[in-house]
Amino acid sequence: MADRRDPPGGGFEIFLSPPQLDGTEGEALAAALRSNWVAPAGPSLAAFEDAIAKLCAVKHAVAVSSGTAAIHLALRAVGVGAGDEVVCASFSFVASANPALYLGAKPTFVDSDERTWNIDPERVVDLLRKRAAKGKLPKALLVTDIYGQCFDADPILEAARKYGVPVVEDAAEALGATYMGRPAGSLGDIAALSFNGNKIITTSGGGMVVSDNQEWVENAHFWATQAREPGMAYTHRELGYNYRLSNLLAALGLAQLARIDDRIDARRRVFERYRAALGDFPGLEFMPEPEGFRSTRWLTCLLFNGAEDEGLADRVCRELQARKIEGRPLWQPLHEQPLFRGAPFVGGGVCCRFARRGLSLPSGGALSEADQDRVIEVVREVCAAVT
């Protein structure tokens, strides 16, 4: 267990994905404070919801305290409950699938597609067909837009519609990404966003549920505010949570949102600069971006794929950290986590290979070229030593 007195930032000099502030946030927060709308709701909260709904091209939004809370509410909104099967991407952060456990549901994990690194559409289609034949369809599909790249929505939505299974999109890493011109957050039937400190824009901590389905979003809002029934008295029929985002943090989010295009362009430039500097190493593969997809490049991810490269990602990562640079392993497959022991897994070894051979590099939008050169130098050094 981590020592909670570890130095803030773990002693790193170059961070993986630090919050990027541009100076307008202080004034936005001060204005929200001056307005006295400190809690619970207020004008910034409504404005932030409207702005995000517009960006995601959906009709309704409710801001909450984290992306994890948003996933929890979204799963509950589509009807997931105790004992239900939820089909999830194995290659994701644990916060994707934890809310299924909060609800007493049972995750089934599916492998990644090499093309997108996201949930493999062929396997999803096949799984739904088999479940339908047995008359036991899953209650929901929970798909992640991994590292800022949208899932391959069209084939998955087609199958989901055919069998009437709702699709919940975990777009925590992908705000501002597009798929065939459609924005992340609009691809599933309902989506969750995150404004955690390491994401594309931040409210320090926060999230949002977005959907065209008014009833679902209204229910999410209701549960997020203790499921307090309308009327003067404190009447409660359903189990609720205290999940609402504060108006102050929404003001911060609005200030951040004004720059989202620049943020994404900056991250994409960081990715391209890494690729230009490192792409010549044999066996080194950067996360692909298929035609029609536009990723946020939330993190620059690469694989060391050469025959001799087993263990190389780990060595590079250790060397980066030894030099106070926050390189990180990729997400470890959820079906291999002790927490999800016994959960079914459909697939081969794609996401396991990503986890063993992959790495993410410092990718913040404000990463200086000098700092990026330090990162590149370490990767080149370790790679050169083995080739």
Ligand X SMILES: *Cc1c(COP(=O)(O)O)cnc(C)c1O
Chain residues that interact with ligand X, rule: CB under 6 A: 66-68, 92-93, 95-96, 144, 170, 172-173, 194, 196, 207
- Bin 10: left if φ > 0, else alpha if -120 < ψ < 50, else beta: left
User: Shortest approach of ligand X to residue 195 CB, angstroms?
Assistant: 7
Type of residue numbered 276: A
CB-nearer residue toward ligand X: 204 or 387:
204
Measure the CA–CA gap between 218 and 311, rounded to whole angstroms. 48
DSSP 336: G
End-to-end CA distance of the chain: 37
CB-nearer residue toward ligand X: 94 or 366:
94
Please identify the residue of the shown chain whose CB is closest to the bound ligand X.
67
User: Shortest approach of ligand X to residue 71 CB, angstroms?
Assistant: 6
User: Shortest approach of ligand X to residue 172 CB, angstroms?
Assistant: 4
CB-nearer residue toward ligand X: 208 or 313:
208
Q: Report yes or no: 184 and 178 within 8 Å, Cβ to Cβ.
A: yes
CB-nearer residue toward ligand X: 100 or 379:
100
User: Shortest approach of ligand X to residue 63 CB, angstroms?
Assistant: 12
Q: Report yes or no: 178 and 186 within 8 Å, Cβ to Cβ.
A: no
- Bin 269: left if φ > 0, else alpha if -120 < ψ < 50, else beta: alpha
Does residue 93 sit in helix, strand or coil? coil
DSSP string, 265-291: HHHHHHHHHHHHHHTTSTTEEEPP--T
User: Vertex 238, ends 232 and 242: CA angle to 5°?
Assistant: 75
CB-nearer residue toward ligand X: 25 or 309:
25
User: Shortest approach of ligand X to residue 374 CB, angstroms?
Assistant: 25
User: Shortest approach of ligand X to residue 360 CB, angstroms?
Assistant: 11
CB-nearer residue toward ligand X: 192 or 367:
192
Among the listed residues 91, 64, 228, the one whose alpha carbon sits nearest the alpha carbon of residue 72? 64
CB-nearer residue toward ligand X: 192 or 254:
192
Q: What is the residue whose two structure tokens read 């992640």?
A: 144
User: Shortest approach of ligand X to residue 119 CB, angstroms?
Assistant: 12
Strands 178-179 and 167-170: unpaired
